[in-house]
Amino acid sequence: MTVVLVEQPTPDVAVVRLNRPDARNALNQEVRSELAGHFDRLGQAAEVRCIVLTGGERCFAAGADIRAMADAGAIEIMLRQTQRLWQAIAACPKPVIAAVNGYAWGGGCELAMHADIIIAGEGASFCQPEVKVGIMPGAGGTQRLTRAVGKFQAMKMVLTGLPVSAREALAMGLASEVVADDAVQARALELARHIATLPPLAIAQIKEVLLAGQDASLDTALMLERKAFQLLFASADQKEGMRAFLEKRPPVFRGG
């Protein structure tokens, strides 16, 4: 069985779907490797303008595959170089929308945090339970989480291993939007299709500058923003967008 499926409902939108339903989409090396390969390819595909990442309508991902880790030694874990596989998702230049139904626990929560937008169902839950099995988060669960929700909320999640509901996640900044469970996939696709109509160069610059500026000083981040803003005036899409606005017609952005 293919553990990660890729669909393109339209040429400019890709859906990457975890496909281990019997294991609640647990993340083993095969899943991570396939995710990395797909994100590498989709990130370079000129026609793809937005990516939806999902586990389907029942479970996003319930964490790492404990069976594949329980008897491993430290050197074996180090040599797996899983950070390189995660980096393929983190470095994807296209906007990524996580559509989260059910569990986003452990590695699943970390995977969702690699996205740029998180759409969660009312019944979704987010959790970093690694401490309960004698370890700690190892793919961003202490670092990305803290940057998303702040020290005190992050500490509560990683020190207790207790889950938070979708509504709690929204309130603390761990989700972008909460919708009915049966509307998650459609809403994520709706947003992806909307983003796909917008100028790809501007979208790419927004994502790059926003992420790079998070860990920079304000002056440095503002400089990055200013330079990217100026650069976009060399694009055909900027000319098209402003002419369309003045001519009161819908713009057609071609990515140039």
- C-alpha 59/C-alpha 104 separation (Å) is 7
Cβ atoms of residues 157 and 128 within 8 Å: yes
Catalytic status, residue 141: no
Given 64, 98, 120, 139, which residue is catalytic?
A: 64
- Return the structure tokens found at 254: 């071609």
Question: Three-state DSSP class for 231?
Answer: helix
Catalytic status, residue 130: yes
Given 63, 102, 107, 108, which residue is catalytic?
A: 107
- C-alpha 4/C-alpha 86 separation (Å) is 15
Catalytic status, residue 208: no
Given 102, 110, 169, 196, which residue is catalytic?
A: 110
Catalytic status, residue 124: no
Cβ atoms of residues 143 and 151 within 8 Å: no
Cβ atoms of residues 103 and 24 within 8 Å: yes
- Return the structure tokens found at 108: 């699943």
DSSP 127-140: E--GGGGT----SS
**DSSP class of 64:** B
- C-alpha 107/C-alpha 138 separation (Å) is 8
Given 61, 106, 112, 130, which residue is catalytic?
A: 130
Q: Catalytic positions, please? A: 64, 107, 110, 130
